[in-house]
Amino acid sequence: LFIESYAGCNLSCPGCNREAIEGSRTDLTMGFDTYKKVIDGLSPTLKYMEFHLGGENYMHKDAHDMVRYCRDKNPECFILSSTNGHFFHTEERCQKVLDSDIDALIFSVDGARQETYEKYRVNGRFDRVFEAMRKILAMRRAQGLRRPIVIWRYILFEWNDSAEEIDRK
């Protein structure tokens, strides 16, 4: 299952056609009841879910509860999401990720410093996202958890593809 709970985004990346994604919908948010119907219809045998498509799912107020709902209905399901990472800036929000029991969380961070990162992730804050990755990993470790797997997705461009840039972190 590939599902998008929220079609909007807080960033303006040049490779993303926000107008096509957001303009094709009458509402950017999937209702939780609709989501439940989809999950219920596939349960208890759903084996794989990507909780993302073209939007930033963690802008949805119920994102963590949605992931948890899928986990509760489908204990064997591998659940993955991709995020720009801007919505994990507090300990409470990081804890919600851990409590959702998601298997893997991909952070799209295309640079190792603000100057290179923001060339593609327009309006993004490198320090906020990098700290979110660190915080989730530290909290996971402190709680003795094995997931989520945190993945740093780094798309190479001419401005961020150097040994100096990649060696920074």
Question: Can you tell me the distance from the alpha carbon of 169 to that of 167, in angstroms, rounded to the nearest whole number?
Answer: 6
User: What is the pLDDT at residue 19?
Assistant: 79
CA 93 to chain centre: 12
Q: Quick check: 169 pLDDT over 70?
A: no
- Residue 35, H or E segment: helix 32-42
Q: What is the DSSP letter of 121?
A: S
% residues pLDDT > 70 (the chain): 99
Helix (H, G, I), strand (E, B) or coil at 80: strand
Give the max Cα distance, the chain: 49
pTM, rounded to two decimals: 0.92
